[in-house]
Every structure is written in C-alpha cells, then in structure tokens.
C-alpha cells in the first residue's frame, strides 16, 4: 500500500494518479488506517455525549472535594453546558499534544497551574474508554507503535507533502515510529505550474455566484465537450488535468443555484448553519415548547422553514392555512371563553374538514402545542419533542420508500433521515447522562450536534471541490469561491506557565503565531502553481467584507518558503457585462433575461424634453410614455380644466429645467407587457389603492400576479399587533350597546375585554419577560380610550357603529373608460353622528403625533377621503378625523370634532377627486401594457439624490401628481421591481 499524506487532505476523495493500493489521506484518515493496521478498534463517541459525560465528571470532581475544582465551579453553576464544552476542548488539546492529564493528580506531583489542575481533577472521574475522542485515539496509537515496533503494517511507502518534523500534536513522533518499523517516509513536492492570480470584485455573494457560475461554464466548454465522458465517470475518479478545481471556503448554496440555472451540477458544500431551522429542527422545537404561551413567531418559523431531508415537516396547505391564521391573529387560542372560534380555531376546523394528510398534520401541530402547554419538566418535554421529531423523520423515510423515486434520490433521503435519527438518539443518550437539564442546557445540547450540517454529496461530473486551499494538487485552474476574510482571531491556547509545565512533561506545544505561519506557508505553496481566479464579495449578508489575507500574500513575495509572488489583476464584476462575457482566456455568450430599467420599444420611444415651456402632456409627465392619442387628448383636456379651476399657470422655463433635467440613473424601473387589460382591477380595498397609487408595479406583482413573500413580517408585532387588539377592544365595547361616558365606565368596559382581546390578538405580550410591557399597554389603553369616549360624549357625538364594512361602486368618470365600475371596499373603524350629520373616525396606534396631522395639512389623507366618500349622503360628506389611540388625542380638519384641528391642504372631496384622477392615470398606462413604478418611487429616488421635491409635488403640473409617501418601505416585492438592489 502507498499512502499520500498531507495535513490538509482529510475529506479530499480524489487523486491525480489513482492506482490500486494507493490512498490519499490527511491526519484523521491516516489515524483510521493505522488503527486498523495495528488491530485496534476505534469508534469515537458523539460530541454531545462526550460533553455530557465530561459535565458529569466535572460535577463529581466538585462533590469529591478536589481543591482545583473550585476554579471552575462558579462558571459551571452559571453555564454548565458551555463550561463543560470549553474544558473538554482544553482537555483534548492537552492530550493531543502528549500530556497525560492523570499524572498531575498523583501523590507527590509538582505544583500544577490552576487550569491544568482542574483538568486533572476532572480526568480522575472521566471515563475516556467509554467516551473516547480523536485525541485519545491518537495517544493510544502512539503508545501502540512505541510498545510494539516490529512490522511495517503492510505499508510500502508514505509520501508526505510537508516536513513531518513541523506537523502539530503527536504526528512527528508517530512518523518517527513508522520509520523505526522500516516504512519509507518520503517528502514529495507537487510540480509547479504557471501561476497567476485574478481577483474578481463583486457587489455581494449573489453577484459573485453569477460570475463564478459563468466562469465554471466557460472553463467547462474550454476543456471540450466532456458531457459524454462525465456520464461514465464514477465518484472519486479524477477529472482531467484541464478541469477546474473549486476551493470553496464559504457555503456554495448561492453558487449551486447559479450553476443549476446553467444546467451544471451542484458543488454541495454546506456551512455551519446550526441556527437555521431546516438544519436544527430539534433546537427550534425545544425553544418553541419552552415558551408559555407559545411563541407564535417561532411557530411560524417552524411551519415555513423546517425541513427533514429536504422535505417540509408539514404539507403546504397546512403551512399556508396556519400561517394565514397567525398573520390575522397572532395567537394559538382556538376559541374564546364564550365559544367564539378564533382565526387559529377556524384554520384547524378547515384542515379537519379536509381530512387525510391535512387533518393528520394539523393533529401533529396540536400534539406539539400540547407538549408546550403540558407543564412537564424540561427533561420530559425534551424527550417528547425528540420523539415527535423522530416520528416525523420516519414519516419522511416511509414516504421516500413508498414513492417511485430514482434510486440515488431515495437513497439520499433515507441516508439523511438515518443521520437525523442518529442525532436524536445521541440527544436522548446525552439526556440519560445529564439527568435533569434546565431549558438552556437542553437547547445547547441540541445545538451541539446540529452545528454540523448534513454531509453534502457533490454531484457526479461537478468540478472537484476542496474546502481548504492547502488541499490543492496538480497545476490546473483554480476557482476560489468565497475568498473573503473569515475574520477569525486566533490566540494562544495556553498561558506561559502552563506552556512551560506541559513542555517539561514532554508535551509538544506550538504557539499560535508559529502554527498560523506554518499553515499559511503550506496553503500558499499549494496555491502558487495554479491559475487562480478568486471571487471576493464586497458585502456578505449586508455587511462589508474584505479579501482573504492569502490573496495579498499570493501577490507579494515574502521569502523563499512562501510563494514567489503571482502576477495579480483585479477585475470589477460590472466590467464583465456585455454580449460576450470574458474573463481572462475564458469566454461565454450572455443571454440577458428580462428588461432592465428603463427599456422602451421603438414604437414607444421616450419623448424628448425641449427647452422652454412644455406644450404637451408628454413634456409635463416625462416619466410616463403615451401611445394612445385618445388617452393623451382626454388627459390633457382634464388637466386644462383643473388648471383653470385652480388658477394655476404654466410653469416657467427655469422651473421646468429644474424639474425635468434630473441626474442619470434616477429613472424608476418600468416593465412593458404585450397587453395590460387583464391587469385592470375590478375591486380595490384601501390598502390596495394605497399600493396602486404608490407603486403600480409592486401592486401588479403582489395582487394580480399573487407574488408574495412569506416571512415573519406577515405576523403582526409591535404597534401593528397592539393596534389590532385596541381596535378589537373598541369594537367590543361599542357592540355591547352600552357606550361608556365616564372614566369609571370606560375602566370597567376595558377590564371586561382587555385580557380576552390580548390573548387573541396580541398573545406575545403574555409571554414571560413581557409583564411590564403588558401593564404599560393596559394603562395606555385605559388612558387613551377614556379620552376617546369621554370627549366624544362631552362633544355631544353619538357612536353608531364600529368596524363597519362597506362596498361602494366607483364609476370612472372619463369618457375613454365609458363609466367602467370598480368596487371600493373596506372597514370604517368608528361611525358616529352629531345633529344628524355623519362622522367617521379612523383609529391609529402610532408612535408619531405629527404624521397624520401632516397628511391632513398636506392634503394626502387618502384614507379619510375614501371613508368620507363611502359615507357621503346626498352629496354631503361626513366629518372625518383620526384618533391617535397611543396618545389619546384627536386630529381632524373639522372643528366640530374634539381635539386640536389641523388646517386641511384640500377638502376631502377635492382629495378624492384627485385620487380618481391619479387612479385613471395609472389605469391608462396599464391599459396599453405599461407597468410603472411611479410616482412614490420617484419621490424616494429624487429625495435620496438630494434634490428639491417641492416642484415635483404640484397637484396638476408636478411630475409626482398624487402619491403615497415611502411606498416601498413595507412592500415585500421591492427587490423584484428594482426599488432596492439590481435586477
């Protein structure tokens, strides 16, 4: 047998010169081979059970009265699992370096540094034979080779890539023992190729994924048509020397998606993503069942994110229906004390009526909630949760076996299920060792084995992949994915006195600086013989990132033992755009998908703006494109009529220069469709109307196309959640028929409904740690609603209803629409009247006391205008106003209502007339297939550019016309329409 050994070669399944009887291994691989050759069985215990066993040993050392154990006792009491995990790491590091922990505790031993003495105390109670680790196996192997030096173990030769005397831990001694057995240990050097370095600077990881996928595709084409050859490859066989090698120092999920778009196989390198529910379902379940009442945000995360072997835990219908219920009412209360079914209860009823797998899945969710609300001990809940998850994993495995899936897919699912079941068994075994953990320790236990993701399997035919630059061999091209600075700070593990003590007892301690220098030299040596293309994102997950330090070393000569320096070139990814994507000698044609902003067909050429006074609507509204003469004439006629009525003159030349000559790049995104009549709505609620006026494109994406993002943002929180509960309290007080008129009556009414409404509409306020917030909300509600009812009574206003649903037909007045009708629907918060005149009050739970007043004074209170129109009687509009419930004040343009009046920017009638005009304006564009992101988007772009928005806001001649401010702030489609990021 010939063994190729390299310090960075663990996990590298390929070899450049394969042959029977040849192995390529790293330290762990060689450890396994040698243990087999000396006939020593070695099965490392799972990390979680080792930590649990060491925790028990630490506690037993304290109980046994070890003086050194007092050093870690306070930390153990504060964080048992974290302390045991850290001390076990120190123990393994000391053992791996060659120190016998037990000798420090022997009678007559010399004074020992406190940390090492504590490790010796724990070692006396730690059963390392029952819970062995890699460090213990290394020590036993060294002892076996030293005590029985005869025989070459069937190994003909070991070829090593590094100087064995520089290897860490006990490896130099082990190689000396192998030489003593007559086994040749030869240093080999990889043949150097023509090295070069190209750094591709990318905006973010998404951009880097696109560029890297293009390069891989181009290199694949350049190497020739290898598809047929790949079909006959087997895993582990080397690709040709001209095939690229991927160095993936970051997870390749984004890159895999970009490769899949080009029909290329995935690389499958996963990262330590323990926090993701899909990889740590058990940890999420433990957190969920530890919360009382149930944390609805964790529950929704479980519904949408958790997976087993790539399959969701629950069917889509179940997830969607329960998610909608939580979004409507953030609570898992099934019914109120009076028997009224809640949104959650109605969702369960619907799923039960579905029957089949939907009813079964709903019952499984209820079973999980019963665990959370059962009141059992932490250990009992943890065991029940583990069993619940195990049952779901078995369901997925059964599903895979019953379906006619391709063999590899079925085997992959079954293997992943078995891996998760093994992790669950480890979790239960660790619980058996610990005994009675607290909630925090149980979650740490779950995360300890979930930190390592499921083992990825690279697809056959994919470029060969390594996760460390030191694993490279040969001289072919290298594509380095994720060449960003990992930002890991490395410090010396041992103090000076500890290092001296260990060295005196034969342990081999290498300072962190020396070890990093040695590892850097080995990685540079492996990289320097390749044409390297490194992709460096400028931002990762929204945070600034910098290039990997190795790139600077590659491009700079640091000495004989380091790279001689490569010729470096830096390319910005934006420079690679064009019809022919080219990077170095690799090129590939580009096919652009979709339209960039702004793109106009020839028949709709963008109108040019001439100097001087505008003469047509095309000049006044340069952001729109018009192609229909009838539409253009009708809008111009309407504009002139309104201008005469308002006494507005045509703007001057200077002003129009300021309005129309905006900097390049401010054009809002625009999409063109073949026809737009199918997008014309027949029904609009206020929330839809607000989006339609603020950004028509986002409205089209979210409503007609039903393109919505599902996430925690859907579940009410903060002011939105509390506001819903406050609305419910007001509605119930009014619906009771006994409208309170004094502070005492209001207090009694609130006490009758507060907890019921909070439990149904704001259950997160009842969770542990929120008692002060809940009491603050209670007091605010009491104070504000006292002001609400008492002031209305004092003003002689009679409340007639709450949450009144309305539907009113809206006829479009323009001739071109020929009276086309839309239904305008919604709910009015509070209806009232005074002296026979109707009143509409909109209740808001908002931090600001000026925002809604500003809407009135600037003439943009669209919601009040819609309410006014909906309750108009014989042409007489009702009185309208806001009640800011969080502060207990009224804001209105009508002096008849309580509170401080606001001077209106325009009447509700004029504002609604403007709404209809602006609505028609956008419908005109939809009718000819133009979907604009205007005018709210323009307002934001202009503001960010530092320009004056006042000339853009004129009611008849301004570019913005009527708009909704900040339309993209809460819009889930803002990344798709181009308001944020690039398409």
Q: List CB contacts of 724: < 8 A, sequence separation 6 or more.
A: 329, 716, 761, 762
Provide the pLDDT confidence category of residue 274 given band limits of 50, 70 and 90: very low
Helix (H) or strand (E) holding 325: helix 316-328
pLDDT per residue over 394-410, tens digit each?
Answer: 998 888 888 877 777 78
Can you name the residues that pair with 844 across neighbouring β-strands? 884
Can you name the residues that pair with 664 across neighbouring β-strands? none
pLDDT per residue over 190-214, tens digit each?
Answer: 666 667 888 888 888 888 888 888 8
- Check residue 378 and give left, alpha or beta (phi > 0: left; psi -120 to 50: alpha): alpha
Q: Check whether the bond before 684 is cis (ω within 30° of 0).
A: no
What separation, in Å, do the N-terminal and C-terminal C-alpha atoms of the chain show?
Answer: 55
Helix (H) or strand (E) holding 346: helix 343-354
Q: Which of 101-115, 160-174, 407-421, 684-698 has the lowest mean pLDDT?
A: 101-115
Contact 282, 422 (CB under 8 A): no
Burial category of 488 from C-beta neighbours within 10 Å (exposed 0-12, middle 13-18, buried 19 and up): exposed
Average pLDDT over residues 152-160: 86
549's tokens? 């330090």
Contact 597, 983 (CB under 8 A): yes
pLDDT per residue over 177-193, tens digit each?
Answer: 999 888 889 998 766 66
Complete DSSP assignment for 511-575: -HHHHHHHHHHHHHHHHTTSEEEEEEESEETTEE--B-HHHHHHTS---TTS-----EEEEEGGG
CA distance 277 to 377: 24
CA distance 7 to 160: 9
Which is more confident, 551 or 226? 551
Which is more confident, 10 or 584? 10
pLDDT per residue over 935-954, tens digit each?
Answer: 555 555 555 555 555 544 44
Q: List CB contacts of 370: < 8 A, sequence separation 6 or more.
A: none
Average pLDDT over residues 156-168: 90
- Residue 368, CB half-sphere, CA atoms under 13 Å: how many? 32
Burial category of 347 from C-beta neighbours within 10 Å (exposed 0-12, middle 13-18, buried 19 and up): buried
Complete DSSP assignment for 460-477: TTSPEEESSGGG--SSS-
CB-CB neighbours of 72 under 10 Å: 22
Q: Which of 539-548, 635-644, 816-825 has the lowest mean pLDDT?
A: 635-644
CA distance 137 to 158: 20
Provide the pLDDT confidence category of residue 345 given band limits of 50, 70 and 90: very high
Q: Which of 130-144, 255-269, 357-371, 572-586 has the lowest mean pLDDT?
A: 572-586
- Using alpha carbons only, give the angle 445, 451, 457 rounded to the nearest 5 degrees: 140
- Output the pLDDT for position 147: 85
CB-CB neighbours of 748 under 10 Å: 12
CA distance 865 to 878: 10
Q: List CB contacts of 6: < 8 A, sequence separation 6 or more.
A: 24, 26, 160, 161, 162, 470, 471
83's tokens? 């302390």
- Output the pLDDT for position 54: 94
- Output the pLDDT for position 322: 93
CB-CB neighbours of 595 under 10 Å: 14
308's tokens? 């087993």
CB burial readout 310-344, b (16+ within 10 A) else e: ebbbbbeebbebbbebbbbbbbbbbeeeeeeebbb
**Helix (H, G, I), strand (E, B), or coil: what is residue 651?**
coil
- Output the pLDDT for position 530: 84
Which is more confident, 149 or 639? 149
CA distance 100 to 390: 40
C-alpha R_g of the chain:
35
821's tokens? 């009708």
Average pLDDT over residues 15-33: 76
Can you name the residues that pair with 685 across neighbouring β-strands? 825
CA 690 to each of CA 679, 866, 947: distance values in angstroms, whole numbers, following the listed order: 17, 11, 25
CA 198 to each of CA 244, 528, 554, 565, 831: distance values in angstroms, whole numbers, following the listed order: 14, 12, 11, 13, 69
Asked whether the predicted pLDDT for residue 658 surpasses 70, the reply is no
Residue found by looking up tokens 């009447």 in the block: 907
Provide the pLDDT confidence category of residue 578 given band limits of 50, 70 and 90: low
Spell out the SS3 assignment of 873-927: ECCECCEEEEEECCCCEEEECCCCCCCEECCCCCCHHHHHHHHHHHHHHHHHHHH
Which is more confident, 962 or 426? 426
CB-CB neighbours of 805 under 10 Å: 9
Q: List CB contacts of 87: < 8 A, sequence separation 6 or more.
A: 54, 58, 72, 118, 119, 122
806's tokens? 């309305």
Closest CA to 921 of 626, 674, 601: 626
CA 880 to each of CA 696, 770, 806, 863: distance values in angstroms, whole numbers, following the listed order: 27, 36, 16, 10
- Output the pLDDT for position 268: 75
Average pLDDT over residues 3-15: 79
- Averaged confidence pLDDT in the chain: 78
Asked whether the predicted pLDDT for residue 674 surpasses 50, the reply is no
Contact 293, 489 (CB under 8 A): no
pLDDT per residue over 529-556, tens digit each?
Answer: 888 899 999 888 778 888 888 888 877 6
697's tokens? 């494109």
Q: Which of 85-99, 308-322, 599-613, 776-790 has the lowest mean pLDDT?
A: 599-613
- Its sign, for the CA torsion 382, 384, 388, 393, is positive
- Output the pLDDT for position 366: 93
Task: Tell me which DSSP letter residue 939 carries.
Answer: H
- Output the pLDDT for position 816: 65
Contact 283, 301 (CB under 8 A): no
684's tokens? 């609009």
pLDDT per residue over 745-768, tens digit each?
Answer: 999 999 999 999 999 999 999 987
Q: Which of 74-88, 408-422, 507-521 has the lowest mean pLDDT?
A: 408-422
CA 394 to each of CA 108, 305, 360, 712: distance values in angstroms, whole numbers, following the listed order: 56, 19, 15, 29
Can you name the residues that pair with 809 across neighbouring β-strands? 823
Number of H helices, E strands in the chain: 34, 25
CA 29 to each of CA 32, 35, 134, 467: distance values in angstroms, whole numbers, following the listed order: 5, 10, 11, 16
823's tokens? 């239904």
Helix (H) or strand (E) holding 931: strand 930-932
pLDDT per residue over 40-82, tens digit each?
Answer: 777 888 888 899 999 999 999 999 989 889 999 999 998 898 8
- Output the pLDDT for position 650: 39
CA distance 97 to 508: 5
Provide the pLDDT confidence category of residue 566 given band limits of 50, 70 and 90: low
Contact 589, 578 (CB under 8 A): no
Provide the pLDDT confidence category of residue 239 given band limits of 50, 70 and 90: very low
Q: Please state whether beta strands 539-540 and 543-544 pair in parallel, antiparallel, or not at all (unpaired).
A: antiparallel
797's tokens? 């206003």
Contact 884, 849 (CB under 8 A): yes
Average pLDDT over residues 388-396: 91
């Amino acid at each position: 047998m010939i063994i190729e050994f390299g310090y960075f070669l663990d996990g590298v399944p390929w070899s450049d010169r394969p042959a029977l009887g040849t192995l390529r291994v790293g330290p762990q691989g060689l450890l396994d081979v040698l243990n087999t050759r000396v006939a020593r069985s070695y099965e490392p215990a799972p990390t979680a059970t080792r930590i649990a066993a060491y925790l028990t040993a630490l506690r037993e050392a304290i109980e046994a009265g070890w003086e050194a154990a007092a050093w870690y006792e306070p930390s153990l009491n504060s964080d048992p699992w974290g302390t045991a995990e850290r001390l076990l790491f120190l123990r393994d590091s000391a053992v791996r370096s060659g120190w016998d922990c037990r000798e420090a505790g022997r009678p007559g031993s010399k004074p020992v540094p406190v940390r090492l003495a504590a490790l010796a105390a724990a070692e006396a109670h730690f059963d390392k034979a029952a819970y062995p680790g890699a460090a213990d196996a290394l020590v036993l192997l060294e002892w076996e080779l030293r005590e029985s030096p005869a025989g070459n173990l069937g190994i003909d030769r070991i070829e090593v890539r590094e100087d064995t005397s520089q290897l860490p831990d006990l490896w130099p001694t082990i190689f000396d023992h192998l030489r003593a057995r007559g086994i040749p240990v030869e240093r080999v050097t990889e043949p150097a190729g023509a090295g070069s370095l190209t750094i591709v600077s990318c905006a973010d990881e998404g951009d880097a994924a696109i560029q890297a996928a293009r390069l891989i595709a181009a290199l694949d084409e350049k190497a020739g048509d290898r598809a047929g050859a790949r079909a006959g490859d087997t895993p582990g066989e080397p690709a040709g020397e001209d095939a690229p090698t991927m160095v993936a120092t970051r997870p390749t999920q984004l890159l895999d998606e970009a490769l899949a778009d080009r029909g290329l196989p995935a690389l499958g390198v996963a990262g330590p993503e323990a926090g993701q529910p899909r990889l740590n379902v058990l940890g999420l379940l433990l957190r969920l069942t530890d919360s009382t009442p149930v944390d609805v945000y964790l529950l929704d995360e479980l519904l949408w994110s958790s997976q087993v072997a790539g399959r969701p835990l629950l069917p889509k219908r179940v997830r969607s229906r329960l998610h909608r219920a939580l979004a409507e009412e953030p609570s898992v209360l099934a019914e109120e004390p009076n028997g009224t079914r809640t949104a959650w209860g109605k969702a369960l009823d619907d799923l039960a009526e579905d029957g089949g797998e939907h009813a079964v899945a709903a019952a499984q969710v209820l079973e999980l909630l019963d665990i959370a609300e059962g009141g059992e001990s932490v250990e009992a809940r943890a065991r029940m949760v583990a069993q619940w998850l195990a049952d779901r994993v078995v369901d997925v495995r059964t599903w895979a076996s019953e379906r006619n899936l391709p063999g590899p897919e079925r085997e992959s699912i079954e293997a992943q299920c078995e891996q998760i079941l093994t992790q669950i068994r480890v979790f239960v075994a660790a619980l058996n060792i610990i005994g009675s953990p607290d909630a925090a320790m149980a979650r740490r236990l779950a995360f300890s084995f979930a930190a390592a993701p499921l083992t990825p399997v690279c697809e056959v035919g994919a470029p060969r992949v390594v996760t460390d630059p030191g694993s490279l061999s040969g001289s072919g091209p290298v594509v380095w994915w994720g060449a960003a600075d990992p930002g890991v700070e490395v410090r010396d593990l041992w103090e000076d006195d500890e290092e001296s003590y260990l060295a005196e007892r034969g342990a081999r301690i290498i300072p962190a600086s020396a070890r990093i220098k040695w590892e850097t030299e080995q990685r540079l040596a492996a990289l320097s013989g390749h044409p390297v293309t490194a992709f460096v994102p400028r931002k990762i997950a929204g945070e600034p990132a910098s290039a990997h330090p190795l790139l600077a070393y590659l491009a700079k000569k640091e000495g004989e033992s380091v790279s001689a320096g490569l010729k470096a070139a830096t390319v910005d990814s934006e420079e690679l755009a064009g019809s022919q994507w080219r990077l170095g000698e690799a090129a590939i044609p580009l096919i652009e998908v979709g339209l960039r902003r702004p793109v106009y067909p020839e028949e709709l050429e963008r109108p040019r703006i001439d100097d001087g006074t505008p003469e047509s609507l095309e000049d006044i509204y340069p952001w729109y494109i018009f192609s229909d003469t009838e539409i253009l004439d009708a809008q111009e006629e309407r504009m002139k009529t309104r201008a005469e009525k308002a006494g507005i003159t045509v703007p001057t030349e200077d002003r129009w220069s300021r309005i129309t000559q905006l900097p390049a790049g401010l054009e809002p995104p625009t999409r063109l469709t073949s026809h737009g009549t199918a997008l014309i709505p027949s029904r609009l609620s206020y929330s839809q109307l607000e989006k339609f006026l603020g950004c028509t494109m986002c409205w089209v994406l979210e409503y007609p196309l039903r393109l919505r993002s599902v996430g925690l943002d859907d579940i009410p929180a903060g002011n939105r959640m509390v506001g819903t509960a406050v609305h419910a309290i007001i509605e119930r007080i009014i619906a009771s028929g006994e409208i309170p008129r004094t502070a005492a009556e209001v207090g009694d009414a609130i006490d009758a409904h507060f907890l019921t409404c909070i439990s149904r509409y704001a259950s997160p306020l009842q969770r542990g740690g929120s008692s002060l917030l809940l009491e603050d909300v209670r007091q605010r509600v009491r104070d504000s609603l006292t002001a609400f009812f008492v002031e209305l009574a004092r003003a002689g206003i009679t409340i007639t209803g709450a949450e009144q649903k309305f539907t009113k037909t809206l006829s479009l007045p323009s001739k071109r629409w020929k009276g086309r009708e839309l239904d305008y629907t919604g709910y009015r918060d509070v209806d009232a009247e005074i002296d026979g005149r109707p009143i509409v009050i909109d209740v808001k739970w908002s931090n600001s006391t000026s925002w809604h007043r500003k809407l009135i004074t600037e003439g943009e209170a669209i919601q009040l205008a819609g309410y006014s129109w909906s309750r108009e009687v014989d042409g007489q509009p009702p009185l309208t106003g806001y009640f800011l419930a969080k502060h207990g004040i009224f804001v209105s343009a009508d002096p008849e209502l309580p509170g401080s009046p606001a001077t209106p920017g325009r009447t509700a009638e004029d504002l609604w007339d403007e709404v209809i005009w602006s609505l028609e304006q956008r419908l005109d564009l939809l009718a000819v297939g133009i979907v604009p992101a205007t005018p709210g988007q323009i307002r934001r772009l202009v503001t960010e550019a530092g320009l004056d928005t006042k000339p853009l806001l004129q009611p008849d001649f301004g570019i913005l016309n009527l708009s909704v401010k900040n339309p993209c702030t809460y819009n889930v489609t803002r990344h798709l329409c181009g308001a944020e990021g690039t398409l």
